[in-house]
Structure 1
Amino acid sequence: MSNQTTALKKVLKPVHLWALAVGLVISGEYFGWNYGWGVAGTVGFLIATLLVTVLYITFIFSFTELTTSIPHAGGPFAYAYKAYGPLGGLMAGYATLIEFVFAPPAIAFALGSYVHFLHSEIPVTFTAVSCYVIFTFINLFGIKESAVFNLIVTILAVVELLIFMGIVAPHFSADNFMRNNMPFGVTGIFAALPFAVWFYLGIEGVAMVAEEVKEPHRNIPKGYILGIATLVILALGVMIFSGGVGDWQQLSTIDYPLPESISIVLGKTNSWTKIFAGIGLFGLIASFHGLIIGYSRQIFALSRSGFLPAVLSAVNKKYRTPHWALIAGGVVGLISIYTGATNQVIIISALGAVVMYCISMMSLLKLKKQGGIQGTFKTPFYPWFPVIALLLSVVCLVAIIWYNPLLSIIFFAGLIIALFIFIALKKHRQPINDELLAVVEETG
């Protein structure tokens, strides 16, 4: 396949990367995290969230060095491939695909729930399926167009969360927040970790548009650092203020905790409650749209490197987008909509994420030791940041496996099957090919 048919356009700037970093994640502030209250209580989940916040801060500063040194659409796949060869690349690619392909169905469920909250006659599943069709179509028209759209909806989503905090903050009650705050003790903290991960899950997707960034060594760090700073403020603000407006247990089992929080403060018949639920769709749309960009680029990169069928790395001649990769990821997501509940999809997506975080941090430590990466951005407090990120990722991984054995068996069974096929085809014996990691330049 020629370079022309597998080349991506370099058009993204720091503002687009900030919007993508925040947009990929911001739906996590709108829903999903509240399931953590159900297994840990407010204080237990706050502790879990603070642990995960440290994980992501140390991870992002470490991951940025990998992304700027190896600006490849495969992201974690490329880093693990260079550090550990084809088998390492396969495991990282598999984990990343699970994370990015299974997160959108959870968001699609939430979009359906928000629309159903506004118009009870519209089924949740109808909205979820429609979103896949519409936003896959939008992504076919080019990365710059997709990025501009993502920038707009992300700004609207951030503004809405700030308005939300402004409305509910005056009604915050410490007594409400502290009532039955750790019903399951310390064990609840570990059970809540995957839901805390949901606050930040997906920010690493910026790595998958690295080939489409102008001056990646300069612009990627700006996008990542501004993105994680924004998300930390929003995550802690939304969680703490929501937990103090009423009975938090009523919010711990639904897919629309923010509109429900507003309704507790203003009343369900208040027009602002309906308006908030309506514009709340922007946050979900931003993440849904961003994750589609992420999984399509991961599929594209794995295909271009020979790990998936070659047809999936084809790029549309007019719009320079990986159209078959977009469609393939969408099909898997549509199937997932009909096979699982929101909390289960969140857990399996978080499982893929923490496995990928472990492999990425191990890759950074090995490549730095070997002198295998040469970038302008250096991880601060090295090696402490990647070591802390690795250790906390392992803690999250063990906790997810311990509290979700069946989902974990499904995840690792899929990995074993992929490894078996890979070994049967003798791809694991192939020497590392640096050409697979070379960024394909735009030629037209």
Structure 2
Amino acid sequence: MSTSQPSSGAHALKPVLSTLQLWGIAVGLVISGEYFGWSFGWASAGTLGFTVTALFIAAMYTTFIFSFTELTTAIPHAGGPFAYSKRAFGPTGGYLAGAATLVEFVFAPPAIALAIGAYLNVQFPSLDPKLAALGAYLVFMTLNIVGVQIAATFELFITIIAIFELLVFIGVVSPGFSMANFTKGGWSGQDDFSWAAIPGMFAAIPFAIWFFLAIEGVAMAAEEAKDPKRSIPIAYITGILTLVVLAVGVMVFAGGAGDWTKLANINDPLPQAMKLIVGENSGWLHMLVWLGLFGLVASFHGIILGYSRQIYALSREAFLPSYFAKVHPRFKTPHRAILAGGVVGIAAIYSDSLITIGGQSLTANIVTMSVFGAILMYILSMLSLFKLRSTEPGMARPFRAPLYPFFPAFALFGALVCMATMIYYNPLIFGLFVGFLVLGYVYFKMTGQQRADAMPQGMSAPAAK
């Protein structure tokens, strides 16, 4: 059997996911971004500066999702962006998009796992956060292997609980909320805006992206959706609107709870913000720590699903070793791909000397690496949309990007601004990112004949016309 065959046997996925489950995946993939990660942006931009940055990123993501949905419904493929860029720009385009998506989805989980460890450490100070992160990997890789239907149902359940908990957080801190707290030193430490605040706002871009990072992972569940042409647009659009509302609410109420500078550069800003209002011994605080884990788990669990489908799709088309394209004979899940991504993530957790560079924490640098992959993927996806509109105008498009070409153009512009800014402020992490791409490209060139040999039997997305 060809490594690129998606339809049957050892390489087959089962279409079992409903619209509600896809919405749960869309929100669940991202919702940990409401619990941690974003507050690192306050360190450079302040609360008000970061709000401006976050609103720009929210607009970029909203226009991106409305545009990306056109690609997802027209080409429902487990590889997601890999398949779109491959169709638009050929194998090299597919490689770049696939590698970028892989970096995004493989490096996001270790950051979330470390946050899970930090939350548990609040309750159990003697527990090593890295050991807890390792345990999280083992538990949720196993759950993902057991079956996508079980995994998606679990994802929906914990996502709903995570949303409820964010609303509880807002309700508990609201009596102590003060806009004066939120605005004090809100422009990079200054009370009033000045041009000197702008560099900090640009430097905070990766952490604003963390509010929404990975929502595009729904595309990688497209082959497992019962009715992708109908359900994916609903899941995407309702998902991004849900996340924008939650992001704004959490950020504003956390910043208004007290001295927001104590919440920058930590992995558990919400429990610490609540502590400023209710004290260290409140039952509300303990509830937030325990239920707050649901938000982190929802994203962690969902992104494992996402990275495994990306590894699976790339392996199926001989962009990675075909070994990882094997589907479990009983559970019909890409178990080898799930384990492979876990090995890389666990290695990242224990690679302090490599990843703790540039004066930032391990978590902040892992977040930044993941964001580099995401932004490159966003750029390639929007370019693919424009290219396919030109070269394949007759392609069936169940959902068409509204306000074309303005929405995809704004999303592309925003992504280019983000990429340029991130390179400027994170040259060392960018160097590592480019290093990963170069190593992958060497493998890509070395295996060209293998893909050519597989092509006559392959059933992958067709190349661009």
Deviation at 1:430, TM superposition (A): 5.3
- Give unpaired runs (5+ residues) of structure 2: 3-7, 189-195, 356-361
Deviation at 1:186, TM superposition (A): 0.6
Of residues 206, 214, 217, the one that matches 2:229 is 217
The TM-score normalised by the length of structure 2 is 0.92
Name 1:101's counterpart in structure 2: 106
CA distance in 1, matches of 2:340, 2:217: 18
**Residues 47, 173 of structure 1: alpha-carbon distance in 2 compared, 3 angstrom cutoff:** same
1:347-426 aligned at under 5 Å gives the runs: 347-371=368-392, 373-426=395-448
Name 1:227's counterpart in structure 2: 239
CA distance in 1, matches of 2:448, 2:239: 41
Match status 1:242 vs 2:263: no
Deviation by residue 1:58-106 (Cα, 9 ceiling, x = unmatched): 0000000000000000000000000000000000000000000000000
Deviation by residue 1:227-246 (Cα, 9 ceiling, x = unmatched): 00100000000001111111
CA distance in 2, matches of 1:135, 1:399: 34
Name 1:291's counterpart in structure 2: 303
Tell me if structure 1 keeps the 8 A contact 2:42–2:264.
yes
CA distance in 2, matches of 1:357, 1:245: 35
SS at match of 2:459: helix
Name 2:359's counterpart in structure 1: none
Tell me if structure 1 keeps the 8 A contact 2:319–2:451.
no
CA distance in 2, matches of 1:285, 1:268: 24
Deviation at 1:408, TM superposition (A): 0.2
CA distance in 2, matches of 1:428, 1:76: 22
Name 1:441's counterpart in structure 2: none
- Matched residue pairs, number? 438
1:288-367 aligned at under 5 Å gives the runs: 288-339=300-351, 340=355, 341-367=362-388
CA distance in 1, matches of 2:218, 2:450: 28
Match status 1:35 vs 2:22: no
Please tell me the residue identity of whatever aligns with 2:79: G
Tell me if structure 2 keeps the 8 A contact 1:87–1:428.
no
Name 2:179's counterpart in structure 1: 174
Please tell me the residue identity of whatever aligns with 2:235: G
Tell me if structure 2 keeps the 8 A contact 1:41–1:182.
yes
**Residues 386, 430 of structure 1: alpha-carbon distance in 2 compared, 3 angstrom cutoff:** farther
CA distance in 2, matches of 1:324, 1:429: 20
Deviation at 1:4, TM superposition (A): 1.1
CA distance in 2, matches of 1:408, 1:303: 26
User: For the aligned residues, what is the CA RMSD?
Assistant: 1.5
Name 1:279's counterpart in structure 2: 291
Please tell me the residue identity of whatever aligns with 2:364: N
SS at match of 1:140: helix
Please tell me the residue identity of whatever aligns with 1:173: S
SS at match of 1:318: coil
CA distance in 2, matches of 1:62, 1:412: 27
- Give unpaired runs (5+ residues) of structure 1: 439-444
**Residues 252, 427 of structure 1: alpha-carbon distance in 2 compared, 3 angstrom cutoff:** farther
Please tell me the residue identity of whatever aligns with 1:55: M
Name 1:64's counterpart in structure 2: 69
Deviation at 1:428, TM superposition (A): 11
Deviation by residue 1:286-312 (Cα, 9 ceiling, x = unmatched): 000000000000000000011011110
Tell me if structure 1 keeps the 8 A contact 2:319–2:447.
no
Name 2:129's counterpart in structure 1: 124
CA distance in 2, matches of 1:103, 1:300: 18
Deviation at 1:414, TM superposition (A): 1.6
Deviation by residue 1:208-263 (Cα, 9 ceiling, x = unmatched): 00000011101110110110010000000000111111111000011000011111
Name 2:147's counterpart in structure 1: 142
The TM-score normalised by the length of structure 1 is 0.96
CA distance in 2, matches of 1:332, 1:422: 19
CA distance in 2, matches of 1:105, 1:203: 17
SS at match of 2:146: coil
Deviation at 1:170, TM superposition (A): 2.6
Deviation at 1:270, TM superposition (A): 1.1
Tell me if structure 2 keeps the 8 A contact 1:86–1:428.
no
Deviation at 1:272, TM superposition (A): 1.4
CA distance in 2, matches of 1:435, 1:321: 19
SS at match of 1:381: coil
Once the two structures are overlaid, the 10-residue window that deviates more, 407-416 or 371-380, is 371-380
Deviation at 1:413, TM superposition (A): 1.7
Please tell me the residue identity of whatever aligns with 1:355: L
**Residues 251, 362 of structure 1: alpha-carbon distance in 2 compared, 3 angstrom cutoff:** same
Name 1:24's counterpart in structure 2: 29
**Residues 318, 429 of structure 1: alpha-carbon distance in 2 compared, 3 angstrom cutoff:** closer
CA distance in 2, matches of 1:203, 1:253: 24
Identity value in percent: 49
Deviation at 1:371, TM superposition (A): 2.0
Please tell me the residue identity of whatever aligns with 2:459: E
CA distance in 1, matches of 2:147, 2:448: 36
Tell me if structure 2 keeps the 8 A contact 1:86–1:430.
no
Name 1:442's counterpart in structure 2: none
